[in-house]
Amino acid sequence: MYSVILVRHGESVYNQQNLFTGWTDVSLTERGIHEAREAGQLIREAGYTFDMAFSSVLKRSIQTMHYILDELDLLWIPEQKAWKLNERHYGALQGLSKTDTACKYGEEQLHLWRRSLTVRPPLLKPDDPRSPRLEERYKSIAEHDLPLGESLQDTVARVGYFWHHRIVPLIRKKERILISAHGNTLRALIKYMEDIDEKTLTDLNIPTGIPLVYELDEHVQPIRRFYLGEQEHIDRKSAEVADQGNVTE
């Protein structure tokens, strides 16, 4: 049996301000740093270790990976930063307030944009200053591969491809892997691995900074997944994510 640990980065500045983030490159808050360190402690206490770590190319995910590895005294292991693990691209919603968006378009539309499988956000124009096509860090990526806004299904395709082609071969070689990524990237990966139905996927909210352990069989198929830590704390943090954008908050 194999296992892999997935972690959503700790709270970011945009999470704290309740703004759509996507590919916006914002840092962790003090709380986020604390969450990342706590994730590392939980992993250490549960007895897991890693041979290699993955993150996206966004600093909240990189910082989280480093805080976790520091807690495990594993900052020396090989790491790979991959744009295919970036958060789902939130298109023209990036930088907008979730609450203001709910007030303007209604909670139902907000929920569709945030949690449906197939609905895309309004797309960015290619020359929008937020476009990844203008960013130095994506200069080696073909323009048509860089999204201007993604549905979760689009994210499932790129994350699933990365999982299948880059991570599974390492797991088969018995490499113990940490993946530090994002709320919707991890929802996409869970959808890819388990093909869960749309209703379950809609209700799936990944809490920040809580390690999620996947146990995998000899074919690298999931046996079960579970969070490390206290259930009550995990439920509270998942509900916090679900409630972002509630107008009545």
Ligand X SMILES: O=C(O)[C@@H](CO)OP(=O)(O)O
Considering the complex, state which of residue 141 and residue 242 has its C-beta at the smaller distance from ligand X.
242
CA 232 to CA 56: how far, in whole Å?
Answer: 29
Residue type, 73: D
87 binds ligand X (CB under 6 A): yes
CA 39 to CA 6: how far, in whole Å?
Answer: 10
| Window 21-50: residues binding ligand X (CB under 6 A) | 21-22
Phi, psi angle pair for 146, to nearest 5°:
-90, 120
Active site residue 9: yes
- Distance from CA of residue 150 to its chain's centroid? 14
For ligand X, the binding residue among 81, 114, 191, 237 (CB under 6 A) is 114
Cβ(40)–Cβ(211) below 8 Å: no
Using the Cα atoms of residue 195, residue 201, residue 206 and residue 210 in order, give the sign of their dihedral.
negative
Residue type, 202: T
From the list 57, 54, 52, the residue with the least C-alpha distance to 77 is 52
Considering the complex, state which of residue 140 and residue 248 has its C-beta at the smaller distance from ligand X.
248
How far apart are CB 57 and ligand X at their closest, in Å?
Answer: 15
From the list 26, 93, 130, the residue with the least C-alpha distance to 245 is 93
The span of 16-24, 36-44, 99-107, 136-144 binding ligand X (CB under 6 A) equals: 16-24
| Window 156-185: residues binding ligand X (CB under 6 A) | 183-184
| 22 in a known ligand binding site | yes
Phi, psi angle pair for 222, to nearest 5°:
-65, 135
Active site residue 108: no
Considering the complex, state which of residue 81 and residue 185 has its C-beta at the smaller distance from ligand X.
185
Using the Cα atoms of residue 33, residue 37, residue 38 and residue 39 in order, give the sign of their dihedral.
positive
149 binds ligand X (CB under 6 A): no
| 236 in a known ligand binding site | no
20 binds ligand X (CB under 6 A): yes
Of 71, 87, 150, 182, which is the active-site residue?
A: 87
| 66 in a known ligand binding site | no
CA 118 to CA 173: how far, in whole Å?
Answer: 35
| 227 in a known ligand binding site | no
For ligand X, the binding residue among 2, 67, 90, 163 (CB under 6 A) is 90
Active site residues: 9, 87
Task: List residues forming the annotated binding site.
Answer: 8-15, 21-22, 60, 87-90, 98, 114-115, 183-184
Task: List residues forming the annotated binding site for substrate.
Answer: 8-15, 21-22, 60, 87-90, 98, 114-115, 183-184
* Contacting positions for ligand X (CB under 6 A): 15, 20-22, 87, 90, 114, 183-184, 241, 244
